[in-house]
Amino acid sequence: MPKIIPAILSGGFGSRLWPLSRRERPKQFLPLFDGESLFQKTCKRTMGDAFAAPLVISNQDHRFLIGEQLQELGVDAQSIVLEPCGRNTAAPAALAAMMALETDEEALVLLLPSDHLIGDEDAFKTAVELGVPAASDGAIVTFGIKPEMAHTGYGYIKFIPSDADALMVDRFVEKPTQEVAERFVSEGTYLWNAGIFLFSAKAMKESFLTYAPDVWNAVSEAYMGARADLDFLRLDAHAFEKVPSISIDYAIMEKQPGIRCVPMDPQWNDLGSWRAIWETMPKDDDGNTSLSEAIFEDSKDCLVYSDDALVSVLGLNDVLVVNTKDALLVASKEHAQQVKNIVARLEAEKRPETVQHRRVYRPWGWTEEISRGDRFRVQSMMIKPGQGLTLQRHIHRAEHWVVMGGTLEVSVNGSTKYVSENESVFVPLGAPHKLHNPGMIDVRMIEVQSGALIHDDDILREPTTTNE
């Protein structure tokens, strides 16, 4: 029996979890649970004797986040494939089957999102094992969550009752109204659609060639034109833009006969809103929960998250408070799904708060803005051991660096020296300079930029490297 290839999809934004989830660091990469991200938990969930190394499919903006978080786990991916633009879930399903067939004609693929929380890992793995025989026989297997309530935010799977481990699927149903959802739950033959699929690569190829050949052919062209870039594989952008944007549900699942479904109850939550976060967290006697320092007084069923400030909630019920260093959200739990509307308005105004936090992560570490004025910017920086910034210069600004911890190797105008804690370096306007951390601990430093133009575009360097 060949090992199952986990194909982990990690290209989403998670706009309903704004302002914490943003385009450059969305919810799947946030260490919200036990110090690990949902992406890392998904990778760990698919480790073991039954699984091969993971195949990660994501967008290019998250490439270094993926590499860093895999490194933290000590996991070597089979491949990290970068999509140049979003094309929904049919395209990565076709790509996963395509790549799996290159390794084994009988390969099995487990296609799963990277942003779901599963509390019972053993129940999940047992469900996957129960689906293997049907998938090996050529059936596409999906996994349905036993519903805890009449939820209108999920699609449903209607199954045909039997004693089989993998039940025959009658039909898929889009997100229903409250009345219809209540009827589904009372009938007992409906499951929530978790968007997780197990299939043989050969069977999935046949399905695409039958029901969505345009998707398969366009993805094939993009894959054939892919190029390696460090540890990543970049799909051909021109070809991938021609891929139809369609979900695997519409492209394949609703057309393919003989779909099977394995019911499971692994304490699953897709964390699609702040209300969903509240539902998963331990609570006090009044139903309040916090992911940071908070005080609740005469309040019930509230949630608080705060980056750097104590939050006090007084005399409120069913309220969400999410405080980051540059944005604050206060909402009722019943409106949690509408957070995406706030994000849409901010995006229409081209506000940066939907894209990145003040702390911006780079391959070499991170920067975090502390203060900004008319002719200056102050930021904190961290440079990881063995990492650094390439040779560059600025036309409109000078820089002053103060090392707060670690040892920094600094080159300014061709002269190199080591700078340690409580020491500083001045970089004149126009001077070529570079930084490197030669030590074994992180370098922490403060950078003060001053000049006529304080902008990230004011950088002249050698031909841009991917590491930047």
Per-residue pLDDT tens digits for 257-267: 999 999 999 99
Global pTM value: 0.84
Beta bridge partners of residue 193, listed in sequence order? 144
Between CA 14 and CA 152 the distance in angstroms is: 18
Q: Which amino acid is at 104?
A: D
Which CATH number is associated with domain 359-461? 2.60.120.10
CB atoms within 10 A of CB 188: 10
Of 3.90.550.10, 3.90.1150.10, 3.40.630.30, 3.40.50.620, which CATH number belongs to 4-269? 3.90.550.10
CB atoms within 10 A of CB 252: 25
Between CA 131 and CA 138 the distance in angstroms is: 11
59-68, 335-344, 402-411, 441-450: which range is least confident on average? 59-68
- Delimiting residues of CATH 2.60.120.10 domain(s) in the chain: 359-461
3-state secondary structure of 24: coil
Give me the pLDDT at residue 13, please. Answer: 80
- Delimiting residues of CATH 3.90.550.10 domain(s) in the chain: 4-269
Between CA 74 and CA 77 the distance in angstroms is: 10
Residue 220 confidence (pLDDT) above 80: yes
Give me the pLDDT at residue 464, please. Answer: 43
pLDDT in tens, 408-419: 999 999 999 999
Residue 1 confidence (pLDDT) above 80: no
CA distances, 243 to each of 62, 95, 334 (Å)? 21, 11, 37
